[in-house]
Amino acid sequence: MDDASLSNREGRVCRVQPDVPAIGRAFDYLVPPDAESALRVGTIVRVPLHGRRVRGWVVADDVEPEADVVDLRPLGTVVSDGPPADVVDLCRWAAWRYAGPLAALLRAASPPNLVSPSAGPELEAAVFPPEVLPDIVAAGRDRPRAIVAWPPCTDRRELVLGLLAAEGSTIVVVPDAARSAVLARQLEREGRHVVVFRSDVQDAERTRAWDRARAGA
């Protein structure tokens, strides 16, 4: 083994969750020098696995490998940008909470088409003045996780507006398209920039929405 190969095998290691329904665990791979700048948690890559190359997501970076580093294989190629690290954590929590496959959630959080990792826009910030909130909404915002019991005949838009982050971005999940359109118009009237990401539109439109959303704000 030459010095360059030895240096690579002693270098950076990432952990990848394969996009294979029957595989529920992640595997460690060496990061090739030409992929180091583009790779982060959430990046979509191709990796060798059981004699074939499969798609997967980087779910941890710069890790201590579970196996001897000399036994690790390098990942194949960087394919596309993927969900940011905090959304990967959210997918991991949802997979645990609902006993579902992590790969399915990561797939839902990723762009349908390829998005270049090197073309990511500079993150934008948005800050909104604090509001006077109902006690039940204020109590929910003070906790990392909370379930809010809201009166069934009361407009839930007040609840959603109260739970939006005062700084940065917020993901709001709505059960149907009709409700999402009404809510989006309300949020825009409040001065929020809204990106709607729906499953019933073409992949190209969903990819454009995903690309806009990663800018933040």
**Residue 12 sits in the same domain as residue 109:** yes
**Residue 8 sits in the same domain as residue 82:** yes
Q: For position 206, what pLDDT does the model report?
A: 94
Query: Number of C-alpha atoms within 13 angstroms, CB side, residue 101?
Result: 12
What is the DSSP code (8-state) at residue 55?
E
All residues at 6 or more sequence positions from 190 whose CB lies less than 8 Å from its CB, including other chains: 161
Please name the residue that has the structure tokens 């000399």: 70
Phi, psi of 112 (to 5 degrees): -65, -35
Q: For position 121, what pLDDT does the model report?
A: 58
> How many structural domains is the chain composed of?
2
Q: For position 26, what pLDDT does the model report?
A: 95
**Residue 143 sits in the same domain as residue 95:** no
Domain, as residue range, for 195: 135-213
**Residue 10 sits in the same domain as residue 114:** yes
**Residue 18 sits in the same domain as residue 86:** yes
Q: For position 156, what pLDDT does the model report?
A: 82
Query: Number of C-alpha atoms within 13 angstroms, CB side, residue 209?
Result: 17
**Residue 17 sits in the same domain as residue 59:** yes
Per-residue pLDDT of the chain (217 residues; tens, 9 = 90+): 444 444 444 689 999 999 998 898 999 999 999 998 889 999 999 999 988 999 999 999 999 998 888 889 999 999 999 999 999 999 999 999 999 999 999 999 999 999 988 655 566 777 877 777 778 788 877 788 888 888 888 888 888 888 888 888 888 988 888 888 889 999 999 888 899 998 888 999 999 999 988 887 7
**Residue 12 sits in the same domain as residue 85:** yes
Q: For position 75, what pLDDT does the model report?
A: 93
Q: For position 42, what pLDDT does the model report?
A: 96
125 falls within a domain: no
- Structure tokens that stand for 17 in this block: 């969750």
Q: For position 5, what pLDDT does the model report?
A: 43
